[in-house]
Structure 1
Amino acid sequence: MKVTIVTESFLPRVNGVTNSVCRITEQLAARGHEVLVVAPAPGREHYAGQAVRTVPALTLPCYRSFALGVPTARMRATVREFDPDIVHLASPIVLGAGGLAAARELDVPAVAVFQTDVAAFVRRYGLGAISPAVWHWLRRLHARADLTLVPSTPVMDELERRGVPRLALWPRGVDQERFHPRHRSDDLRARLAPNGETLIGYVGRLAAEKRPRMLADLAGLPGTRLVVVGDGPELDRLRRLLPDAAFTGFRTGRELSELVASLDVFVHTGADETFCQAVQEALAAGVPVVAPAAGGPLDLVRPGHNGLLFAPDDATDLRAAVGALVADPLARRLMSLNAARSVRGRGWDMICDRLLAHYSGVLGGATASEAA
C-alpha cells in the first residue's frame, strides 16, 4: 500500500517520535510498501529509499531544539499527488492537523499515534495555564482520526477518561541486536569505574521535561559512579550539580550499545512518558531499571522482577530504590536476566505487523476494538 506519514519530528532531530518513524519507515519499505514522510524542515530528501518532503518550521523560544511544522497548501498538494491509501499521523499537534485535513480531502483513513504528552510538556516549562486548552485541541484532533494508537495502558486510561474515542494499544519496538547484554564491555567499565564502582546510568535528553536534576539525589551513594548519556539544555547545570559523574554527551550506534549494556542500574527520572523507549532499551540490554511509577514505565517495569518503581515526585524514594539495587548484587543479577526476557518478542518487525493489522482494520471499516 501507499502510506503517508506526517510527523511532528524527523531527522536530523533525534527523539522518540523520530525513532519510531524511522523504524516504521524501514519496516514498511522492507515489506514493499511505498512511504512518503512529511516533516518539519530542515531535513533530508529520502530515508530508507522513501521520499521525505519538508515544510516550513517555527522554533519554540522555550525549547529551541524542537521545531513546529507549519501545514501549507503545498504540503496538502504533495500528499494529494502521492495519493496514499492511508495517512499515519505521528504524534500530531499542528503539522498533524494539516495531515488530517489532507486525509479528509482525499477521503482516506487517518491513523493517529498519541506519543507525546504535550499538556505535561507545557506544564514543565511553566505554561500550565494553557494545559486545558492543549487537551481540548488534542481531544478534538484525535476524535477526527479513524483510530488513535496508544503506546501504554496508563495512557489509554487517561485518553478514555478525557473522552478520546476509537483507541487501540500499539507499543514501541526495540532493536534487539543493538540493545543486548552481549554488548557489555569490560574495557568500558574499567574506564568508567576504575575502582570497581557500581555504574548507575541515565540515557536521554537533558531537558526539563525529563527532570534529570533528580539525578543529583543519587550523588554520594557509596561505591557508585553516575554515568549520564545525552545532551540538552540542562547539561551545564547538571555538570555543576554532579562534578563526579561521567558525562559522555550524545551517543549512537555501537557506542550507545556498549554504554547501556555496561551499566549496573538504569535510572529514568521523567514522570510524563507515554511509553519510555529508553527504559525498554535498557531492559533489552539486560539492565535492571528504576523508573517513576507513572505512565509508560508501568507497563515495562515489574517491581522486584526486572527493576523497581519509585513515587514520581519523591527523591528520597528514588534514592532508596537505587540504593537497594546497589546493595544487592544477587538481586541485580536475577533482575538482569529477567530484564532481557521481559522484552523478547518486541522487535520492530513484530510491532510493524501489529501496525499493519491496525491499518487493515481501518481500511476495512472495522471499529477500534475489532482493529485491536
Structure 2
Amino acid sequence: MSESFLPHMNGVTGSVLQVVDQFAARGDDLAIIAPRQPGAERFLRTSCGRKIRVRRITSVPMLGYGDVRIATTSAASLRRRIADFQPDVVHLASPTILGGRAMIAAQQLGLPTVAVYQTDIPGYTARYGLPFLEAASWQLLRDVHNRATLTLAPSTFTRDQLREHGIERIRLWRRGVDTARFSPSLRSEALRAELAEPGERIVLYVGRLAPEKQVEDLRILHDLPGVRVVVVGEGPEEETLRRAMPRARFRGFRGGADLAAHLASADLFVHPGELETFCQTIQEAMASGLPAIAPRRGGPVDLIAPSRTGWLYTPGMLDELREHAVDLLFDDAKREAFGAAALASVHARTWPVLAEQLRGYYAEAIGARELSRRAP
C-alpha cells in the first residue's frame, strides 16, 4: 500500500519500486494499492520481467500540489481489495490518509501491518507556513503508526523523534542504494563541458524543487568564483529558483543512466533540506564517488561522517555551508579522499541486503500477530 506511486516519482515511490523488484525476484506474490491519477499504468513490470498488478483507487489532486494525490476510498472498500489478495502482511509506505484507512481495514481482517515512516509531515506544515497544524499532524501520525504491528524508521534521528512523540514499536530500516547503477566510472568529460566552463567545479543538487527542500540556500554558493551550481529536478519552485540563481544550470528531471552520469560528473553534492527523514540522493551521490554536505538534522546525520565522507552544518548557518564547500571544492586531494571514503561507506548498503532485513521485519510482525491471537 503506497500513499503515492507512479507516474509521480519521489522517495516513497522509489523505495516501493526497489522493494517490489527485490521480492518479485524471489518469487513472492505481490499486489500494490495506490491512488489513481492521470497517466497511471495498471501493471508494473519489474526488472526480473514479472508483471505486478497495481490496484488503483479513487483520488483527487492536493490543492496547490497537483501531482500529490489524496485517496478518497473508504476503509470498507480497501478491506475488500485486501481480502481479495489474502496477503500475509500489509506494507504501508508513508501512511497518512490512505494508509490510515488501510490500517483499519487490515486490523479488521486480522492482518499484521508494517508502517514505513518516510515523510516529515509535521515539519512540512511549518515550512509551508502552517505551524498551527504541527500538533495535529503528530496526532494523526500517532493514530496511524500506533495501530501498526511495527513502524520502521529510516534513521536514528527519525527513530528518536518518533519516540519523543509517543510512537511505539519502532525498528530501524534504512534504504539501499544501487551500486551497479551509480558509479564513479560514469563520469563524463563531455557532460561536464555541457554543464560548466573549463576549470569550474560543479556543485550538484538532485531532488524536488519545492519549499521544504530549501534549494534557495544554494545561493550562498552560486556566486563563488570558479563554481557552477547544477540543479537536477523539477517542482513548483523552479521559476523562482531560476530568477534567484541565474548562473545555475537547471537540468529538469533526470532518471536512470542519465541521472547516474550527472552525479558521477559533479565534484560535490549538496542537499540543503532540513526535513529529510533519510535522503536517498546522498547515498546515490556517495555511490558515485562524491563527498556530500547537508544540514545536521534528520537522515543525513547517519549518512555523512564529518571530516571523512563530507560535512554537516548547523541548520540555518549558511556561512558554515559555504566554508565546508570551499574547503572541498578547492582542495583536490581532500575532495578525492572524501569521495573515495564516501564510496566505500555505501558498499554494504545494497537493496538485496535491505530487502532481507525487511523480510525479517515482516516475519516479526506476522509472529507478533500470531501471539496476540493466542493470548487469552
Name 1:33's counterpart in structure 2: 28
5 Å-filtered alignment, 1:1-372, equals 6-42=1-37, 43-47=40-44, 48=46, 49-72=51-74, 73-365=76-368
What secondary structure does 1:84 align onto?
coil
Shift of 1:155: 0.5
In structure 2, C-alpha distance between the alignment counterparts of 1:64 and 1:213, rounded to whole Å? 22
The CA distance in 2 between the partners of 1:272 and 1:184, in whole Å, is 30
**In 1: Cα distance, 2:287 partner to 2:62 partner:** 34
User: How far has the Cα of 1:63 moved from its partner?
Assistant: 2.2
C-alpha deviation, 1:317, in angstroms: 1.5
Alpha-carbon distance between aligned partners in 1 of 2:25 and 2:200, rounded to the nearest angstrom:
43
> Is the Cα contact below 8 Å between 2:91 and 2:113 reproduced in 1?
yes
- The worse-fitting range, judged by mean Cα deviation, of 315-324 and 195-204 is 315-324
Counterpart CA distance in 2 for 1:137 and 1:19 is 24
Contact kept, 8 Å, 1:190 with 1:196, in 2: the verdict is no
Query: Normalization by structure 2: what TM-score?
Result: 0.94
Q: Distance in 2 between matches of 1:184 and 1:26?
A: 27
How much does 1:202 deviate?
0.5
C-alpha displacement of 1:233: 0.7
List per-residue Cα deviations over 1:81-120 (Å, max 9, x = no partner): 1111100010000100121112112101001001101111
Give the drift of 1:328.
1.2
Q: Deviations over 1:270-325 (max 9, x none)?
A: 00100000111101111010111100000000011010111111121111111111
Gaps of 5+ in 2: 371-376
Shift of 1:195: 1.6
Work out whether residues 8 and 96 of structure 1, in 8 Å CA contact, stay in contact via their aligned partners in 2.
Answer: yes
Between the aligned partners of 1:360 and 1:66, the Cα distance in structure 2 is: 32
Structure 2 CA distance for aligned equivalents of residues 253 and 161 of structure 1: 38
SS state at 1:249 partner:
coil
- Once the two structures are aligned, what percentage of the paired residues are identical? 43
Residue 215 of structure 2 aligns with an amino acid whose one-letter code is P
Q: Decide whether the 8 Å contact of 2:61 with 2:67 is kept in 1.
A: yes
Contact kept in structure 2, 1:207 and 1:233, CA below 8 Å: yes
CA contact (8 A) 1:71 1:94 kept: no
Q: Higher mean Cα deviation, 12-21 or 103-112?
A: 103-112
How far off its partner does 1:366 sit?
8.3
What amino acid is the match of 1:62? G
Aligned partners of 1:97 and 1:89: how far apart in 2? Answer: 9
- The one-character-per-residue Cα deviations of 1:18-53 (angstroms, maximum 9, x if unpaired) are 001111011111111111101011222111311111
In structure 1, C-alpha distance between the alignment counterparts of 2:42 and 2:110, rounded to whole Å = 27
State the Cα RMSD in Å.
1.3
Report the AA paired with residue 31 of structure 2. Answer: L
Letter aligned with residue 35 of structure 1 = L
AA at the equivalent of 2:33: V
Decide whether the 8 Å contact of 1:199 with 1:265 is kept in 2: yes
- C-alpha spacing 1:194/1:288, structure 2 compared with 1 (3 Å): same
